[in-house]
Amino acid sequence: MHATSQFSHFRLAIAPGVPSSCLSTLLALQRTEEPDTPIAFFEASGDALVIGLDEGRYDAGISLRHVSAPFLRSQPLWIDNMAVAMPLRSSLLGRATLTTAEVLDYPGFRWQAETCPLLDQRLSSFPPLSEQSMQHVTSFEILALWVAAGYGVGISAQSRIERAHAWGITMRPLSDAPYEVVTHLQRPRERASAISELFERRAMQVAKDSAAYSNTR
């Protein structure tokens, strides 16, 4: 355990779409090892998170974007793969994997907060008529709702789909490419603190443990 002053605090901005399994592990570790350090959470997406870091309103940010800016350090953490969510009684259950082209043969749902540039590039390569079958939703919960009810399939982070099995959906991998969702930790270069340094160290340990677990599956 690392002791810190009772007057210290840590302000963490989290962007929508960050896979929650590793994040919850990291936050639990932070609470265990720094029980006397208050942590304030903020939800901020895109440019708002970067601006908040630059203006000193946040000590660190976690998002799915790699930010290249002179005032920021952007460190990749854990990686998840995009996969297909389908209902438990889907006609596709007999398939071990699916391609992106095959997914577009069905009505589909996607939560765009799960940023995946390679997947976006792949989807944009299909004719506009094919792309129209992919509807954008405002949350993973809405995606899972439509999929579980049998209105189509969804594309989302594999770990998120697997954790939602009790909601009535199951997962199949995408086989045509490793469509990766990469979580990044951003910190201001000029305002490093002992608390933020330790937080980054814990984040890297969680990422390392996650990669080791993935390699054993």
Q: Do 61 and 123 belong together in one domain?
A: no
- Asked, for residue 3, whether it belongs to a domain, the answer is no
Same structural domain, 32 and 71: yes
For residue 24, the domain's CATH number is 3.40.190.10
Residues 19 and 74 in one domain: yes
Exposure letters 42-62 (e unless 16+ CB within 10 A, then b): eebbeebbbebbeeeebbbbb
Q: Strand 180-188 relative to strand 60-63: parallel, antiparallel, unpaired?
A: antiparallel
Residue 11: strand pairing partners = 40
At 21 the pLDDT is 85
**Residue 36 counted as domain residue:** yes
Query: Is residue 88 within 8 Å of residue 172, measured between CB atoms?
Result: no
- For residues 98 and 134, membership in a common domain is answered with yes
If asked whether residues 98 and 176 sit together in one domain, one would say yes
Identify the sign of the CA torsion 96, 170, 120, 44. negative
Question: Domain residues for 51?
Answer: 10-78+182-216
For residue 55, being part of any structural domain is answered with: yes
Q: Based on the fold, state whether residues 115 and 176 are members of the same structural domain.
A: yes
119 and 165 share a domain? yes
The series of mean pLDDT values per 10 residues for the chain, 217 residues long, is 55 91 93 92 91 94 90 92 95 93 91 90 78 83 97 94 95 92 92 87 92 70
Which tokens hold the place of 100? 């992106």
Q: What is the Cα–Cα distance from 62 to 184, expressed in whole angstroms?
A: 6
For position 129, what pLDDT does the model report?
60
Number of domains making up the chain: 2
Both 30 and 89 in a single domain? Answer: no
Element housing 143 (H / E): helix 140-148
What pLDDT score was predicted for residue 4? Answer: 43
Residue 30 falls inside a structural domain: yes
Q: What b/e sequence results for 150-177 when a residue is b if at least 16 CB atoms lie within 10 Å of its CB, and e otherwise?
A: eebbbbbbbbbbeebeeeebbbbebeee
* Sign, Cα dihedral of 36, 52, 66, 197: negative
Residue 4 in domain = no
pLDDT at residue 132, as a whole number: 55
Closest CA to 50 of 35, 63, 33: 63
Q: Which two tokens stand for residue 111?
A: 């939560």
Same domain, 207 and 138: no
| Residue 196 β-bridge partners | none
Render pLDDT for 118-171 as a digit per residue (tens, 0 to 9): 998 998 888 766 555 789 999 999 999 999 999 999 999 999 999 999 999 999
What is residue 216's predicted lDDT score, i.e. its pLDDT? 65
* 47 and 58 assigned to the same domain: yes
Q: Does residue 29 lie in a domain region?
A: yes
Q: Are 98 and 163 members of one domain?
A: yes
Same domain, 72 and 87: no
